[in-house]
Amino acid sequence: MSQFPITDKTEITRLPKRGVYDKDVVYSILDEGLFCTLAYARDGQAFQIPTGFCRIGDKLYLHGSVGSFYMRELAEKKPPVSIGVTFIDGLVLARSAFHHSVNYRSVVIFSTPEKVDDADELYKALEVFTNKMQPGRWDDVRKPNSGEWKATMLLSFKIDEASAKVRTGGPKDDEEDYALDIWAGVVPLEIQRKPPIADDVLKAGVALPDYLK
């Protein structure tokens, strides 16, 4: 499996056994992520923005309004950023308070923004992004018109400095605590899609598409 190089910034120093540098693992977490957190610094103060994103190959894409202050700042100043995606997959209930934990999968990327001016790349990224959020959606919707494309800014981030951190499995207690009469185990957590709710003003006769059933 192809690996990311371990750098000063991406090396997992706390509980290093949980560090994962395999590209397939990093990409699978990114591709499942519903949003990322983009962090960058301005005069020593860190800011963060939660935002949708998608990945194509070794690039991560964000889009936003050309009127967005932070999109413009990123495009113009190209600050070094950190981009994170985290899933909490379960509560790990140990016998001791101290060994309580969570099962999780997280990725952090270090990169810099590049404004995308290529129309094909913009179109492709919006298609991939839309279908990531809802598979099958892009082909079904009214595509952007020229004014909407002009109002949309796309930023790309090369993914070449990245790592994941993953915990799975049950609790690990101190040897003597296994004899205690305390329940221990995992409460799995899952992001669930609930049944779609039609718009109040949905045109009469428009059926729920197959990809939403």
Of 102 and 114, nearer to a second copy (C-beta) is 102
Closest CA to 154 of 85, 30, 66: 66
Give yes or no for residue 10 binding a second copy (CB under 8 A).
Answer: no
Span from 18-26, 60-68, 114-122 in contact with a second copy (CB under 8 A): 60-68
Distance of CA 143 to the CA centre of its chain: 25
Distance of CA 107 to the CA centre of its chain: 8
Give yes or no for residue 140 binding a second copy (CB under 8 A).
Answer: yes
Residues 76-105 that bind a second copy (CB under 8 A): 79-82, 84, 86, 88, 91, 93-98, 100, 102, 104
> In a 10 Å sphere around its CB, with 0-12 CB exposed, 13-18 middle and 19+ buried, how is residue 23 labelled?
middle
Sign of the torsion formed by the C-alpha atoms of 39, 19, 100 and 185: positive
Give yes or no for residue 66 binding a second copy (CB under 8 A).
Answer: no
Q: Say if strands 81-93 and 36-42 run parallel, antiparallel, or are unpaired.
A: antiparallel
Q: How many chain residues bind a second copy (CB under 8 A)?
A: 91
- Work out how close the CB of 24 gets to a second copy at its nearest, in angstroms, rounded to a whole number: 21
Sign of the torsion formed by the C-alpha atoms of 119, 125, 131 and 133: negative
Of 2 and 203, nearer to a second copy (C-beta) is 203
**Interface with a second copy (CB under 8 A), residue from 27, 40, 53, 61:** 40
- Work out how close the CB of 184 gets to a second copy at its nearest, in angstroms, rounded to a whole number: 4
